[in-house]
Amino acid sequence: MLHKYKLTSAWATVTIVLDQITKLWVHNAMEPWTGKEIIPGLFNLVYVLNKGAAWGFLDDDHINWQRPLFIIISLAAVAVITYMLLLTKEHDKWMISGLGMIAGGAIGNAIDRIWLGSVIDFLDFYVDAYHWPAFNVADSALTVGAGCIILSTLLNRKKAQG
């Protein structure tokens, strides 16, 4: 029974540590709102301070309530993840791993919001003039974690049908 909690905690811890180390490196190596071309036509390192949610949603200096709102949402997400973990079967490694990644991503971005009032985003992928919104390790873990949960759901549905 404890194995699923250890696996979830391991994914969350690795995510938080990698997220915070990379953000600290960007914070110390670059000035806010600057960038460095790494792979021409494909990838830049940038230093963006995002007060909003994913892809800059609600990133507006005139909105004063987004910081506490997103901290509360992060804490609520961790509570929901904890509840989902209680319901998850020990053998469902995809679900357990996904929940750990999402918890780590939510906590990693919440740490930024608490200490900085915004989230450091620094990965900028693009093709020609089209740039995907900048993101970070925590955002990547949220996305991969969601993919793991979807995969788990599909695999469990297939097992139930056949």
Backbone angles phi, psi at 33, to 5 degrees: 70, 25
Smallest Cα–Cα separation from 151: which of 86, 96, 82?
96
Count other Cβ atoms within 10 Å, centred on residue 134: 23
H or E, element range at 38: strand 35-39
Number of continuous H segments (helices) and E segments (strands) in the chain: 4, 4
Q: Which amino acids are annotated catalytic?
A: 121, 139
| Residue among 38, 6, 13 nearest 105 (CA) | 13
Name residue 44's beta-bridge partners.
37, 124
Tokens of residue 26, six digits: 């960007």
